[in-house]
C-alpha cells in the first residue's frame, strides 16, 4: 500500500531525531490538509519536552520530496501533512487495472486465525428478518478479515439442542402428521404451528409441559424415536435454511459448511462442569449451579438448572473450549460472535467466565453487536402472533426491484435485463441498507429508502457500476502499463486520490469490524464519479484524454465491484 510507503518514509525521518515513538498516519477528513497527516511531532514533543510546532518543522526537513511525496506542510499545533505526486496517483491506477479483483487485499495479518460466528438460526423455528442482520453483517466482516489477510473460519452455531425439542417431539407425535410434513414446501411453518399449539394446550393442561420434559430426557438418553424425530426437524429446517443462504450468497466453512450446532457439544458439557468444579468456580444457588463474579462485576451466570439441565451458557462454554483446544484452530485464535445487542450482558458474563477459567486473554473474545429493525410499514410491525419470515422479505425485495425497473425503463432489453437481475438487485439493496450504518444502530425498515436510485442505497451503487461498464463497453479500451500524460481536472485528481485510499479503507473496516466504513467510502466514490461523468466528456474527448478517462472509469468500476463483493453484494452488467 502507498500508505505503508509513506509511513516508512516518515518513520525514517523521525528515527533521525528519536526512536521512542511509533509513527501513525491517517487520511484527513478535509482534503485541504493533504492526502495523509500525522501527529507524531506532538507526541514526540511531549516526550522530549519540546515545542510541537518546532518539532514538526524539524521532522519535515528530514522528509525528502521524491516521486511519492510532492509536498510537505506543517500546520499548528504540530500536524505534518503530505500530498502525493500525480505520478504516484497515476501508477496506482495502473496497479488497480493490473491487480483487478485483488486490489485492496493485503497480507498484513497472514497466518493469524479468527473464528467468526454469525447467523445461528434455531432449528424448527422461523428464519425471520431478525436473523438477517447477523447473517449479512457477519458475512461482510468475515470477507473483510479475509481481504486483510486473516485465516477466517466461518461458523454457524445452530440452536439444535435444548428442552424445546422435547416439546417439539411431543407436539409432532400428538398433533402432527410426519408424512404430510415431509411433502410440505415449507415444513418449518408446520413445526412452528405445532410448537405454538403445545404451549396453548399446556396452559390448559400443565401435565403436557411435563411430557415435554420427559421427551427431552429421552432425547438426551438416545431414545431411537426421539432421535429420529429430532433429526427430521434438523433436516426439514436445513432444507429451508439452504434456500435462504443460497439467495443471500452466504456460506460457512466449519463442519462441511453447516457449522457446529449446539448438539455437537452435547457429550462435551460434563467436562466443562468438572473443570469448573475443579477450579472451584461453581456455587450453588437455590438448587442451581452458578458462576459468581468477583466484586459483583456482573450478575451470576447460571450453568446448570436446579434439575441438572444445561443452558446456553453451558453449551457456549463447551463450544469455546473446543475452539481453543482443537488443532484445527489455535489457542490464541480470536473468536467473534455477531449477535444482537440485547445479549450484551450475557456475552460479558461468558467472556469473563472464560478468563476466570484461564482460557482466553483480554480482547481474544469479541461481541460484535447489532441493533434491531423498526418497521415503517405498519402491517409488518403489527402482525399479532406472527413473525416476519425472511423468505417473504426476500421475495418482496425481488418484486419491488422488478417494479422499479418499469419506472426507469428505457427500452425492452434494459427492462428485461433488470427483470432477470431483480433478485440480485433486491437482495443487494437489503444488504446495503443494513451495512451502510453502524451495526449497533437500530434500523428503520423503509422500502422507499432501501430501493432508492438517487441516494445512499444499493440500487444507486449498482447503477453507478453499470454506468461505468456501459461507457467502457462503447470503446475498444484495454488497460496498458502506462497512462498518457494529461492536464488533470480537479474531479479527476479527486477520484484518483479516492481510489488510492481503498486498501486503507478495507484494512480499517476489517480492524474495526465495521462494514459501514467501506459503505461510506464506496458511496462517496460513486458520488464523485457521477459528478465527474456529468462534467467531463469521456468518449468524445481527445485521444489521450479519452484513454486516461477510460482507465479512470475502469478503475472506479473495479473498486466498486471489489468493495461490493466484500459486502456480499453482487454486481450486474445492465439495469
Strand partners, 336: 116, 366
pLDDT, residue 377, reads 61
Q: Is the pLDDT of residue 407 over 80?
A: no
> How does residue 415 score in pLDDT terms, banded at 50, 70 and 90?
low
- Residue 310 vs residues 74, 252, 302, 328, 383: alpha-carbon distances, Å: 62, 27, 9, 26, 33
Average pLDDT over residues 424-434: 96
| pLDDT one-digit tens code per residue, 115-125 | 999 999 999 99
Q: Is the pLDDT of residue 380 over 70?
A: no
| β 373-375/288-291 pair status | unpaired
CATH code given to domain 2-84: 3.30.1360.70
pLDDT, residue 532, reads 98
Cis peptide before 77 (omega within 30 of 0): yes
All CATH 3.30.1360.70 domain ranges in the chain, comma separated: 2-84
Q: Is the pLDDT of residue 195 over 80?
A: yes
Phi/psi region, residue 104 (left: phi>0; alpha: psi -120 to 50; beta: rest), is: left
pLDDT, residue 296, reads 83
Q: Is the pLDDT of residue 384 over 50?
A: no
| pLDDT one-digit tens code per residue, 138-153 | 999 999 999 999 999 9
Average pLDDT over residues 282-289: 94
- Strands of 371-493, DSSP E: 373-375, 443-445
Do 154 and 113 meet the contact criterion of CB atoms below 8 Å apart?
A: no
Q: Which of 266 and 1 is assigned the larger pLDDT?
A: 266
> How does residue 478 score in pLDDT terms, banded at 50, 70 and 90?
confident
CB atoms within 10 A of CB 498: 21
Do 364 and 332 meet the contact criterion of CB atoms below 8 Å apart?
A: yes
Give alpha helix (H) positions in 62-155: 86-99, 130-147
Average pLDDT over residues 2-19: 89
pLDDT, residue 419, reads 65
Q: Which of 420 and 466 is assigned the larger pLDDT?
A: 466
Q: Is the pLDDT of residue 461 over 70?
A: yes
pLDDT, residue 47, reads 87
Grid coordinates representing 71 are: 509536498
pLDDT, residue 135, reads 98
Whose cell is 461458523? That residue is 155
In order, the DSSP letters of 260-294 are --GGGGGGGHHHHHHHHHHTT--EEETTEEEEPPG
| pLDDT one-digit tens code per residue, 34-51 | 999 999 999 999 888 899
Q: Is the pLDDT of residue 387 over 70?
A: yes
Q: Is the pLDDT of residue 417 over 70?
A: no
Which of the residue ranges 8-17, 249-258, 279-288, 456-465 would you say has the lowest mean pLDDT? Answer: 8-17
pTM for the structure as a whole: 0.93
All CATH 1.10.730.10 domain ranges in the chain, comma separated: 403-566
> How does residue 289 score in pLDDT terms, banded at 50, 70 and 90?
very high
Q: For 205, list phi and psi in degrees, rounded to 5.
A: -135, 95
> How does residue 222 score in pLDDT terms, banded at 50, 70 and 90?
very high
% of the chain beyond a pLDDT of 90: 79
Do 348 and 298 meet the contact criterion of CB atoms below 8 Å apart?
A: yes
pLDDT, residue 496, reads 97
Q: How many CA atoms lie within 13 A of 15 on its CB side?
A: 7
Euclidean distance between CA atoms 69 and 72, whole angstroms: 7
% of the chain beyond a pLDDT of 70: 95
In CATH, the architecture of 403-566 is Orthogonal Bundle (1.10)
CA 18 to chain centre: 40
pLDDT, residue 381, reads 42
Strand partners, 81: 37, 73
Do 443 and 434 meet the contact criterion of CB atoms below 8 Å apart?
A: yes
pLDDT, residue 469, reads 95
> How does residue 95 score in pLDDT terms, banded at 50, 70 and 90?
very high
- Residue 41 vs residues 3, 9, 30, 400, 424: alpha-carbon distances, Å: 18, 15, 20, 54, 49
Quote the mean pLDDT of the chain: 92
Q: Is the pLDDT of residue 383 over 50?
A: no
pLDDT, residue 215, reads 96
Average pLDDT over residues 359-386: 76
Amino acid at each position: 500500500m502507498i500508505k505503508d510507503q509513506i509511513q516508512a518514509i516518515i518513520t525514517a525521518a523521525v528515527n533521525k531525531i528519536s526512536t521512542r515513538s511509533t509513527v501513525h498516519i491517517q487520511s484527513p477528513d478535509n482534503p485541504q490538509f493533504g492526502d495523509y497527516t500525522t501527529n507524531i511531532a506532538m507526541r514526540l514533543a511531549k516526550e522530549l519536552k519540546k515545542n510541537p510546532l518546532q518539532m514538526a518543522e524539524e521532522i519535515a526537513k528530514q522528509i525528502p520530496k521524491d516521486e511519492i511525496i510532492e509536498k510537505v506542510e506543517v500546520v499548528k499545533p504540530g500536524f505534518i501533512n503530505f500530498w502525493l505526486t500525480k505520478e504516484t496517483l497515476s501508477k496506482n491506477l495502473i496497479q488497480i487495472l493490473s491487480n483487478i479483483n485483488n486490489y485492496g487485499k493485503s497480507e498484513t495479518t497472514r497466518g493469524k486465525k479468527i473464528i467468526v460466528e454469525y447467523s445461528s438460526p434455531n432449528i424448527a423455528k422461523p428464519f425471520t428478518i431478525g436473523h438477517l442482520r447477523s447473517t449479512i453483517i457477519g458475512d461482510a466482516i468475515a470477507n473483510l478479515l479475509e481481504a486483510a489477510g486473516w485465516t477466517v473460519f466461518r461458523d454457524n452455531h445452530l440452536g439444535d439442542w435444548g428442552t424445546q425439542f422435547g416439546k417439539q417431539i411431543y407436539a409432532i407425535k400428538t398433533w402432527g402428521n410426519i408424512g404430510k410434513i415431509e411433502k410440505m414446501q415449507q415444513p418449518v411453518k408446520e413445526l412452528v404451528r405445532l410448537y405454538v399449539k403445545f404451549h396453548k394446550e399446556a396452559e390448559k393442561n400443565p401435565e403436557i409441559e411435563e411430557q415435554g420434559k420427559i421427551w427431552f430426557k429421552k432425547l438426551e438418553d438416545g431414545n431411537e424415536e426421539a432421535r429420529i424425530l429430532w433429526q427430521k426437524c434438523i433436516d426439514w429446517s436445513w432444507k429451508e435454511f439452504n434456500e435462504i443462504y443460497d439467495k443471500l450468497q452466504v456460506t460457512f466453512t466449519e463442519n462441511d459448511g453447516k457449522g457446529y450446532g449446539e448438539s455437537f457439544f452435547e457429550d462435551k458439557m460434563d467436562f466443562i462442569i468438572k473443570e469448573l468444579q475443579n477450579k472451584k468456580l461453581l456455587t450453588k444457588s437455590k438448587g442451581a449451579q452458578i458462576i459468581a463474579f468477583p466484586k459483583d462485576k456482573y450478575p451470576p451466570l447460571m450453568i446448570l438448572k436446579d434439575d441438572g439441565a444445561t443452558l446456553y451458557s453451558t453449551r457456549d462454554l463447551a463450544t469455546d473450549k473446543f475452539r481453543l483446544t482443537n488443532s484445527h484452530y489455535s489457542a490464541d485464535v480470536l473468536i467473534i460472535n455477531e449477535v444482537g445487542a440485547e445479549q450484551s450482558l450475557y456475552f460479558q458474563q461468558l467472556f469473563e467466565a472464560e478468563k476466570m477459567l484461564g482460557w482466553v486473554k483480554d480482547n481474544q473474545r469479541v461481541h460484535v453487536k447489532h441493533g434491531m429493525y423498526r418497521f415503517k410499514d405498519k402491517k409488518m410491525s403489527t402482525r399479532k402472533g406472527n413473525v416476519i419470515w425472511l423468505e417473504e422479505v426476500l421475495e418482496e425485495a425481488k418484486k419491488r426491484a422488478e417494479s422499479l425497473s418499469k419506472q426507469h425503463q428505457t427500452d425492452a432489453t434494459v427492462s428485461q435485463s433488470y427483470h432477470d437481475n431483480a433478485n440480485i438487485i433486491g437482495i443487494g439493496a437489503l444488504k446495503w441498507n443494513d451495512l451502510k450504518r453502524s451495526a449497533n444502530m437500530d434500523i428503520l425498515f423503509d422500502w422507499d429508502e432501501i430501493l432508492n436510485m438517487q441516494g445512499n442505497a444499493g440500487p444507486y451503487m449498482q447503477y453507478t457500476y453499470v454506468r461505468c461498464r456501459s461507457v467502457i463497453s462503447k470503446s475498444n479500451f484495454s488497460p496498458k502499463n502506462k497512462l498518457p500524460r494529461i492536464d488533470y481536472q480537479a474531479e479527476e485528481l479527486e477520484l484518483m486520490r479516492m481510489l488510492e485510499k481503498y486498501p486503507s479503507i478495507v484494512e480499517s473496516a476489517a480492524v474495526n469490524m465495521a462494514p459501514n466504513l467501506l459503505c461510506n467510502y464506496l458511496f462517496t466514490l460513486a458520488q464523485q464519479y457521477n459528478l465527474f461523468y456529468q462534467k467531463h466528456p469521456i468518449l468524445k474527448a481527445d485521444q489521450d484524454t479519452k484513454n486516461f478517462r477510460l482507465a479512470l472509469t475502469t478503475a472506479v468500476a473495479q473498486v466498486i465491484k471489489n468493495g461490493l463483493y466484500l459486502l456480499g453484494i453482487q454486481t450486474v452488467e445492465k439495469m
